[in-house]
Amino acid sequence: MNPQAIIDGLVAGSMIGLGAIGVTLTYSILRFANFAHGEFVTGGAYLTLVLLTALSAVLGTAPLSPFSVSLALVLAFGGALVLTGGVALTLDAILFRPLRRRGGTIIIIVIASFGASLALRSLIEFVFTATPQYFSRELQIAAPIGGGMRATPDQLLVLAITALLVAAVHLLLTRTDAGRAMRAVAENPALARISGIDVEGVVRLTFMIGGALACAAGVAAGLLVQIRPTMGFDLLLPLFAAAILGGIGSVPGAVLGGLLVGLCEALAAQTVGAEWRAAVSFAVLVAVLALRPRGLFGRR
Amino acid sequence: METATLTPTPTLSVRALVAAYEPGLPIVRGVDLSVSSGEIVTVLGPNGAGKSTFVKALAGLVPIEGGTVNFCGDDITTIPAHRRVGAGLAFVPQTENIFATLTIAENLKIAATALPHRERKAAIEEVMARFPDLGGRPTETAGRLSGGQRQMLAVGRALITRPRVLMLDEPSAGLSPKLVGEVFARLKEIAADGVAVLLVEQNVRAALEVADRAVVLAEGVVRRDMDAKALAQSDDLGALFLGAAPEAA
């Protein structure tokens, strides 16, 4: 085995893990699989691109060496995190919340999310066209990092940002009132209500955090690969595989699941061919559901 | 209906309450009830009488289709469950009444979020002191506690907000007689502090021993509302639970 698969897998896995956190939080708190989550990934990347275009006119496009990232991209990313959280919040307000209030069943809400996914993807393609776009045209050279592996500065930056965001979410969930409230609602919404928790407020917060992390995944994918209208949809199966592998509701589980799925994909690309990469997530999903349905860290 | 003497200004006053899980299919059908500060009122009745539905409706967990719930002079019939807690109405459900995956301290911190920030620490310490079994191990996962300790944590969680009304749904369920005595002794202490206690129970003898007043529900309506000691000595107590007792005059 070529050790390069490890770093390739970890980088791909960090993108999957970031997206999977939103999936697992939404699933554990709202009890439904949000198929529109992939579009938050895509939307986050395109919102960053829009802000980048505007900010580059003022701040220029000079990269912050050794990365291909410019100051304008850093600021655009910050703005897009908030905006994508807002998009997720808006989708909840106009689609999911009315369905919840009318007592809509889980299957109705899941199908609604599927419809929203199709609509958002078509809207993005209509506005931005299907032509792939890039945050930067700067050339990145992969440098040796030891153990026979090589990585570009951007890849290492993505790994560092993933670690930072995961630590921030972990601290939020374990050290703050809002995080404890999210865990309480995930475990028992009725008890949370009679403990004084505004469950709808927690749902809004969950959509915002999930949307922001999906944006981070989209920007990472856009930075390392390219920006396409179907980038989020293509990530959807790996996101769900990672969330289920890690155990629904577990943030560390989602990240670990993402890294494992990424590593499996990289190994498959190296051993049986890149065309089988997409099948890996499906195989992982089936294997977990058959052998350990609660995942690595999920509750019984 | 036999009616016990009411305290002039009840803390919680319920009038003609109708509650239903499904619209048009009421489980509670026009219940009147009041509880005053320092009083323990027990709600008794056979299985399916609507006792649990009644307290869940008061807590805001079951939709209210008719009637009014008045709490300390305010109509709270339509306000959401989480705001009732902040107002001083606490509820301990029969099952799943603690967050099992969270620690003891986290359970109490969550309940304390209904309080102003500066009051939280003192409120948590107060509950820890009242229940020393909990105070000694704040970082223990609540799911590891025994049945009695879980019940204490559930009551402690409810007491954090310093409620004026504490409602409990069958706190004796699944507990040994010794633990039942312990829980009910705590309820006496809590009522002595001026809290109005509404206790739904299947353990009739134990509930009548601790309560000041008893309300018997059957088929979603009140059959008796009288002094608890008098009901304990009543000849038709058994018949009430078998549904054979006549409507009270």
Question: Mean pLDDT over residues A127-136, rounded?
Answer: 95
Please tell me which residue of chain B has the smallest CA distance to A200: B82
pLDDT at A59 over 50: yes
Tokens of B104: 């003891």
As a residue count, chain A comes to: 300
- When mean pLDDT is compared across A111-115, A238-242, B152-156, B234-238, the lowest value belongs to B234-238
Tokens of B158: 């409810």
Task: Determine which of B21, B58, B82 to mutate to test the interface with A (most A C-beta atoms within 10 Å).
Answer: B82
- ipTM of the predicted structure? 0.88
Instruction: Give the 3-state secondary structure of residue A133.
Output: strand
**Given an 8 Å threshold on Cβ–Cβ distance, is B85 in contact with A199?**
no
Q: What is the pLDDT of residues B189-245, one digit of tens each?
A: 999 999 999 999 988 989 999 999 999 999 999 999 999 999 988 877 777 665 555
pLDDT at B247 over 70: no
Q: What is the pLDDT of residues B46-64, one digit of tens each?
A: 888 999 999 999 999 999 9
Cα A178 to Cα B104: distance, rounded to the nearest angstrom: 17
B143 burial type by CB count under 10 A (0-12 exposed, 13-18 middle, 19+ buried): middle
pLDDT at A144 over 50: yes
Size of interface A-B (CB pairs under 8 A): 69
Cα A145 to Cα A161: distance, rounded to the nearest angstrom: 18
Does A66 sit behind a cis peptide bond, omega within 30 degrees of 0 on the bond before it?
yes
Q: Which amino acid is at B86?
A: G
Tokens of B55: 């307290």
pLDDT of B129 reads: 87
Cα B222 to Cα B224: distance, rounded to the nearest angstrom: 6
For residue A152, give the nearest of A225, A49, A224, A58 by alpha carbon.
A224
Tell me the shortest Cα–Cα distance from A26 to chain B, in angstroms.
Answer: 18
B94 touches chain A (CB under 8 A): no
- When mean pLDDT is compared across A136-150, A251-265, B97-111, B228-242, the lowest value belongs to B228-242
Tell me the shortest Cα–Cα distance from A257 to chain B, in angstroms.
Answer: 21
**In this structure, what is the dihedral angle of CA atoms B205, B210, B214, B218, given to the nearest 10 degrees?**
-40
pLDDT of B8 reads: 54
Count other Cβ atoms within 10 Å, centred on residue B118: 7
Question: Mean pLDDT over residues B139-153, rounded?
Answer: 91
Query: Which of B99, B109, B157 shows the shortest C-beta gap to A187?
Result: B99
Question: Mean pLDDT over residues A209-235, rounded?
Answer: 96
Average pLDDT value over all residues in chain A = 94
B40-44 and B28-35 beta bridge pairing:
unpaired
Cα B213 to Cα A57: distance, rounded to the nearest angstrom: 77
Asked if B207 and B131 touch (Cβ cutoff 8 Å), the reply is no
pLDDT at A164 over 80: yes
Which chain A residues are closer than 8 Å to B114 by Cβ?
195-196
Band of pLDDT at residue B249, cut at 50, 70 and 90: very low
Q: Which residues contact B65 (CB under 8 A, 6 or more apart)?
A: B18, B19, B20, B23, B26
Average pLDDT value over all residues in chain B = 89
Band of pLDDT at residue B246, cut at 50, 70 and 90: low
Asked if A218 and B120 touch (Cβ cutoff 8 Å), the reply is no
Count other Cβ atoms within 10 Å, centred on residue A266: 25
Query: In this prediction, what percent of chain A has a pLDDT beyond 70?
Result: 99
Which residues are B224's β-sheet partners? B216
Cα A10 to Cα A52: distance, rounded to the nearest angstrom: 27
pLDDT at B6 over 50: no
Instruction: Give the 3-state secondary structure of residue A205.
Output: helix
Cα B148 to Cα B141: distance, rounded to the nearest angstrom: 15
Q: What is the pLDDT of residues A195-210, one digit of tens each?
A: 999 999 999 999 999 9
Q: What is the pLDDT of residues B63-86, one digit of tens each?
A: 999 999 999 999 999 999 999 998
Cα A14 to Cα A238: distance, rounded to the nearest angstrom: 11
Give, in order, the Cα–Cα distances in Å from A227 to each of A116, A130, A300, B24: 20, 9, 39, 53
Query: In this prediction, what percent of chain B has a pLDDT beyond 90?
Result: 66
Q: Which amino acid is at B20?
A: A
Cα A284 to Cα A9: distance, rounded to the nearest angstrom: 15
**What is the pTM for the complete model shown?**
0.88
Count other Cβ atoms within 10 Å, centred on residue A202: 22
For residue B33, give the nearest of B81, B2, B69 by alpha carbon.
B69
**Given an 8 Å threshold on Cβ–Cβ distance, is A187 in contact with B61?**
no
Which residue blocks in B80-227 are alpha helix, DSSP H?
81-87, 104-112, 117-130, 132-135, 147-159, 177-192, 204-210
pLDDT of A278 reads: 82
CA A138 distance to own-chain centroid? 25
B12-19 and B89-92 beta bridge pairing:
unpaired
B242 touches chain A (CB under 8 A): no
CA A203 distance to own-chain centroid? 18
Please tell me which residue of chain A has the smallest CA distance to B114: A196
Cα A18 to Cα B179: distance, rounded to the nearest angstrom: 47
**Given an 8 Å threshold on Cβ–Cβ distance, is B102 in contact with A190?**
no
Q: What is the pLDDT of residues A4-29, one digit of tens each?
A: 999 999 999 999 999 999 999 999 99
pLDDT of A16 reads: 96
Cα A255 to Cα A168: distance, rounded to the nearest angstrom: 13
pLDDT of B114 reads: 84
Band of pLDDT at residue B7, cut at 50, 70 and 90: very low
Which chain B residues are closer than 8 Å to A183 by Cβ?
99, 101-102, 106
pLDDT of A213 reads: 96
pLDDT of B119 reads: 92
Question: Mean pLDDT over residues A143-161, rounded?
Answer: 93
Which chain A residues are closer than 8 Å to B86 by Cβ?
196
Query: Which of A187, A193, A195 shows the shortest C-beta gap to B111?
Result: A195
Higher-confidence residue: A117 or B203?
A: A117
pLDDT of A40 reads: 98
Q: What is the pLDDT of residues A235-276, one digit of tens each?
A: 999 999 999 999 988 999 999 999 999 999 999 998 888 888
Asked if B212 and B232 touch (Cβ cutoff 8 Å), the reply is no
Q: What is the pLDDT of residues B11-42, one digit of tens each?
A: 999 999 999 999 889 999 999 999 999 999 99
Which chain B residues are closer than 8 Å to A195 by Cβ?
82, 85, 110-111, 113-114, 157
Q: Which amino acid is at A152?
A: T
Q: Which residues contact A270 (CB under 8 A, 6 or more apart)?
A: A1, A2, A4, A5
Q: Which residues contact A275 (CB under 8 A, 6 or more apart)?
A: none
Query: Which of A197, A199, A299 shows the shortest C-beta gap to B110?
Result: A197
pLDDT of A7 reads: 94
Q: What residue has token string 């009270």?
A: B248
